Amino acid sequence: MKKRLFLLITVIVLALTLLSCSQTPALDTEKEISVMVLNGTTGFGAAKLIDDSANGNTELNYKFSVESDASVVNSALINGSVDIAALPTNAAAVVYNKTGGNVKVAAVNTLGVLYIVENGESVNSFADLKGKTVYVPGQGSNPEYVTAFLCEENGLKVGEDVTLDFTYNAPADLRTAVASGQVEIAVLPEPMVTIAKTANADLRVALDLTKEWDKVAEKNSLMQGCIVVTKKFADENPQELNKFLEEYGQSVNFVNENPTEASEMIAEHGIFEKAQVAAKAIPNCNLCYITGEEMKTSLSKFYEVLLEADPASVGGSLPSDDIYYIG
């Protein structure tokens, strides 16, 4: 009797297991998934995945495009013409608020990439910036907010103790001005720092803003780049999204571990034109792959800082927890 009961239970368990498996839909490998990345650091982590896709070595069917204008990516997310995109974290919050919550942040791909560089030897701490002018690119974006926050946290009132100058709004223009000696102190992102130092051997990195951030805020909460997915795609294609994230995470790890090989892919696919520069810059780009609760905890802290600095930086209000795709 006991033997028959055991066999009956075993059969039931096997049947339920098979039923559960049969109800799990297979990956749709034919569906075309459109992905946009910005050229520059935000797009670096996708290099291996883009290369694998071009060579038919991915499980899913991707259509990648590399854009130089963030507004193109933002517009595509807003009108739903792209499924997944890599863009700055503050832009993700703006799009979220502008669309009424129709996008989600699925992963953080870049921590701090900003550095204060100097033609000289006078700056070794934020206190040394008192009475000086610091040129900053991207007015109304992360470089301005991060620099201003760090100045204030170090007792420097912007506009009184230190001046932030936005004459050179494009990072490339500011890089040229710094390298030529027209500008003494500037905030630059990688890989612009590497390019500027290559052109001017006397230029020095005075402050690593990621390290400075960690001194006054929650460690690793300076999150500057992310992967965003439309809510529609996340709701309708959870398996495909999770597979993308798996393949994307592997790509980021490859880029970090193989900068020379990855830099060739970066150049080949138009993410950044100079492979040699990219190879030198990758170790300083803080590329990462952070998801789930860890992402939510740290990124929410960063959004709080941005909101306090300027509500417009995150689209007017703090994104709700619905912005995070936990998986």
Q: State pLDDT tens for residues 112-148.
A: 999 999 999 999 999 999 999 999 998 888 899 999 9
Q: Do 79 and 137 fall into the same domain? A: no
Q: Do 133 and 277 fall into the same domain? A: no
Q: pLDDT tier at 2 (50, 70, 90 boundaries)?
A: very low
Q: Do 152 and 172 fall into the same domain? A: yes
Q: What is the pLDDT of residue 168?
A: 95
Paired tokens of 248: 């994307």
Q: What is the pLDDT of residue 259?
A: 97
Is 56 among the domain residues?
A: yes
Domain end among 198, 216, 234: 216
Is 21 among the domain residues?
A: no
Q: Do 170 and 97 fall into the same domain? A: no
Q: pLDDT tier at 70 (50, 70, 90 boundaries)?
A: confident
Is 97 among the domain residues?
A: yes
Q: Classify the C-alpha dihedral 146-152-154-157 as positive or negative.
A: positive
Q: Do 236 and 316 fall into the same domain? A: yes
Domain end among 152, 185, 216: 216
Query: What does the pLDDT look like over 7-43, one tens digit per residue?
Result: 445 434 444 444 444 455 678 888 999 999 999 899 9
Domain end among 216, 243, 275: 216
Q: What is the pLDDT of residue 16?
A: 43
Query: What does the pLDDT look like over 176-220, one tens digit per residue?
Result: 999 999 999 999 999 999 999 999 999 999 999 999 999 999 888
Q: Do 243 and 274 fall into the same domain? A: yes
By mean pLDDT, which of 39-48, 60-69, 304-313 is the weakest? 304-313
Contacts with 242 (C-beta within 8 Å, 6 or more apart), sequence order: 327
Question: Domain count of the chain?
Answer: 2
Percent of the chain past pLDDT 70, that is, above it, reads 92
Is 58 among the domain residues?
A: yes
Q: Do 36 and 157 fall into the same domain? A: no
By mean pLDDT, which of 46-50, 103-107, 198-202, 264-268 is the weakest? 198-202
- The residue type found at 167 is T
Residues 209, 4: Cα–Cα separation, whole Å: 69
Tell whether the model's pLDDT for residue 270 goes beyond 60: yes
Is 2 among the domain residues?
A: no
Residues 237, 276: Cα–Cα separation, whole Å: 38
Paired tokens of 246: 């798996």
Q: What is the pLDDT of residue 28?
A: 81
As beta bridge partners, residue 185 has: 118
Q: What is the pLDDT of residue 130?
A: 97
Query: What does the pLDDT look like over 228-269, one tens digit per residue?
Result: 999 999 999 999 999 999 999 999 999 999 999 999 999 999
Is 64 among the domain residues?
A: yes
Q: Do 263 and 180 fall into the same domain? A: no
Q: For residue 219, report the phi and psi dihedrals to the nearest 5 degrees.
A: -60, 140
Task: Give the DSSP letter of residue 45.
Answer: T
Is 85 among the domain residues?
A: yes
Q: Do 259 and 311 fall into the same domain? A: yes
Is 17 among the domain residues?
A: no
Tell whether the model's pLDDT for residue 3 goes beyond 80: no
The pTM of this model reads 0.86
Domain of 45, in residue numbers: 32-111+222-323
- The residue type found at 24 is T
Q: Do 194 and 234 fall into the same domain? A: no
312 or 116, which is more confident: 116
Q: Do 236 and 261 fall into the same domain? A: yes
CATH number at residue 261: 3.40.190.10
Q: Do 207 and 70 fall into the same domain? A: no
Residues 231, 198: Cα–Cα separation, whole Å: 43
